[in-house]
Amino acid sequence: MSFVITIGRENGSGGKYIGEELSKKLNIKLYDKELLKKVADDNNINIDLLEETDEKQKKSFWYTMAMASMAYTDSVNSLTELPTNEQFFLKTAKAIEELYETESCVIIGRCANSILKNKENILNVFVYSSDENFKVQRKVKFADLTERQATKLIKKIDKERASYYNYYTDGKWGSKEEYDLCIDTSRIGVDNAVNLIIECARLKKLI
């Protein structure tokens, strides 16, 4: 039986690394940027356009109209009447649902936990850090940034991710009610977080 682990994450908290390690240890595919490539390939979309809008949202009024009229359908006539961001989100949501139906995998971000809400065999995880310096130092180390650059980038990306999630779902990004497991990597470490997620997957009888 297939299963999906979704990972929401604060920038710099180690979410991508955790996803990569889960993919290796559980021998399942990881979809992060790979999800964008799938959407681009399946829909003949320039991947640069997807990356420009990836987990970013500036507007606030299209969600109700989009969800009411589309309900995640793939009607070409209706879809092309929507703004580009909404078209891309609906195509991404469709791709996530297809992955759920066809294979076990780890999906990072893109509102996957909300898109797969109430589905069986799902473990929804949010990775964060209560210590801002922990995130900053990870960015300094792995992204070759200064502390000032890292601090600015973390705030910018987290603001974009929160705006994107809050816009496209009926929940709040990072709220404990949205996830099965919330992990503070500054307290337990990223490798321990990987082991904790695997143990939680066992407890839920996913693996």
CA max distance for the chain? 50
Q: 87-93, long-range: CB within 8 Å, 24+ apart, which pairs?
A: 88/39, 88/45, 88/49, 88/50, 88/53, 89/168, 90/66, 91/39, 91/42, 91/43, 91/45, 92/35, 92/36, 92/39
At 113 the pLDDT is 98
Is the pLDDT confidence value at 88 over 50? yes
Count Cα neighbours of 23 within 13 Å in the Cβ-side half-sphere: 18
Mean pLDDT throughout 131-149? Answer: 97
At 82 the pLDDT is 59
Expressed as residue numbers, the domain containing 179 is 4-203
At 61 the pLDDT is 40
Q: What is the pLDDT of residues 158-176, one digit of tens each?
A: 999 999 999 999 999 999 9
Residue 202: pLDDT band (50, 70, 90) is very high
Q: How much of the chain exceeds pLDDT 70, in percent?
A: 86
The 10 Å Cβ neighbour count of residue 120 is: 10
Mean pLDDT throughout 76-82? Answer: 51
At 68 the pLDDT is 47
Q: How many domains, the chain?
A: 1
Q: How much of the chain exceeds pLDDT 90, in percent?
A: 70
At 120 the pLDDT is 96
Average pLDDT, rounded, for the chain: 88
Is the pLDDT confidence value at 60 over 70? no
Domain CATH number, residue 126: 3.40.50.300
Q: What is the pLDDT of residues 14-48, one digit of tens each?
A: 999 999 999 999 999 999 988 988 888 888 877 77
